[in-house]
Amino acid sequence: MPTESTSVSGSGRLAVRKTYKLFIGGAFPRSESGRSYAVTSSGGDFLANAALASRKDARDAVRAARGAFGKWSAATAYNRGQILYRVAEMLEGRRAQFIDEVSLSEGGDAASTVDAAIDLWVWYAGWSDKITQVYGNANPVAGPFFNLSSPEPTGVVGLVAPQESPLLGLVATLAPIIVTGNTAVVLAAEDRPLPAITLAEVLATSDLPGGVVNLLTGRVAETAPWLASHMDVNGLDLAGVTDPALAADLEAAAADNLKRVVRPGATPVDWHADPGVGRMTPFLETKTVWHPKGV
């Protein structure tokens, strides 16, 4: 049923209501399974129907992410930074819509949450051409060599987005994954997916190549195990897994192909706090080259 936010009262116009879909490979498909589920506000009112992703949607998303990895990881850090900054510009343009959705889904001071999310995105965009200086090194070695270590992206990373903070938490976990050149398959907050889907619309209009970020909505317990066991996924961020038994299972499944795993925080994370670089480094590999030098 239309709520105050979706129908236009008094003007006599029919409400143009939005279909919330998945975001895979730069397109917005419905779930392959044809399923959907009802999303309600924090107060329990019906908001919208969102697509209920299946394992095949997860598989398609991984394929799209793998396809996008080559180009995105090879893009210059400068170019990635520009694109991410562009995302922040688009976020700013949709500020009012995000405030609406955040306030419906998590309540609280929505305006400051959205501002924090945009600022955090800008902050991470700036890291794109700086992380190498901080985590790369010229190593002193006993021999006539230049020995250089540089961080490189891991590959396709699966992210279970934080449940309680559907926008800020998502930005705080997604931005550090893609800024370094990884591509991502995101399982949005299960009960509060709307801000995530709107973020996907922002990403789709920000010059971000299709497939760099793929977003699924649905049940974490259903789709996450398929990402965890998928042999073409290289990293797994379990930020939004609230059930410790499920987190342990996912970590065990992820071990099969030695995925890099970030465990869920033991205590609730304050997404407003200074994040440091701790979320960028888990999905970086270090490449070291030995280059001979004259005498």
Partner 1 sequence: MTATATRPAGSGAGDLSEVARSEAALRTFLHGLPGVDEVGAQARAAMLGTRSIKTSSKAWAIDQAIGMIDLTTLEGADTPGKVRALSTKALRPDSEDPSCPPVAAVCVYPAMVPVAAPILDGTGVHLASVATAFPSGQAPLPVKLEDTRAAVAAGADEIDMVINRGAFLSGRYREVFDEIAAVKETAGPAHLKVILETGELATYDNVRRASWLAMLAGADFIKTSTGKVAPAATLPVTLVMLEAVRDFRVATGRQVGVKPAGGIRTSKDAIKYLVLVNETAGEDWLHPDFFRLGASSLLNDLLMQRTKLKTGRYEGPDYFTLD
What residues make contact with partner 1 under the rule CB under 8 A? 59, 62, 66, 226, 229-233, 253, 256-257
CB of 168 to partner 1, least distance (A): 31
Burial zone of 186 (CB within 10 Å; 0-12 exposed, 13-18 middle, 19+ buried) = buried
Pick between residue 207 and residue 256 the one whose CB is nearest to partner 1. Answer: 256
Pick between residue 250 and residue 280 the one whose CB is nearest to partner 1. Answer: 250
By DSSP bridging, strand 156-160 and strand 46-51 are unpaired
Pick between residue 54 and residue 165 the one whose CB is nearest to partner 1. Answer: 54
Neighbours of 3 (CB within 10 A): 14
CB of 263 to partner 1, least distance (A): 21
Pick between residue 127 and residue 226 the one whose CB is nearest to partner 1. Answer: 226
Pick between residue 165 and residue 183 the one whose CB is nearest to partner 1. Answer: 183
d(CA 241, CA 92): 29
CB of 229 to partner 1, least distance (A): 4
**Alpha carbon separation from 178 to 68, 225, 247 (Å, rounded):** 11, 22, 23
Neighbours of 32 (CB within 10 A): 17
Instruction: Judge whether 217 and 51 are in contact, CB under 8 Å.
Output: yes
CB of 254 to partner 1, least distance (A): 11
Pick between residue 243 and residue 256 the one whose CB is nearest to partner 1. Answer: 256
Which residue is associated with the tokens 């973020």?
A: 199
Pick between residue 30 and residue 66 the one whose CB is nearest to partner 1. Answer: 66
CB of 250 to partner 1, least distance (A): 12
Pick between residue 76 and residue 257 the one whose CB is nearest to partner 1. Answer: 257
Structure tokens at 108: 């609280």
Instruction: Judge whether 22 and 51 are in contact, CB under 8 Å.
Output: yes
Instruction: Judge whether 259 and 234 are in contact, CB under 8 Å.
Output: yes
By DSSP bridging, strand 145-153 and strand 284-292 are antiparallel
CB of 270 to partner 1, least distance (A): 35
CB of 121 to partner 1, least distance (A): 30
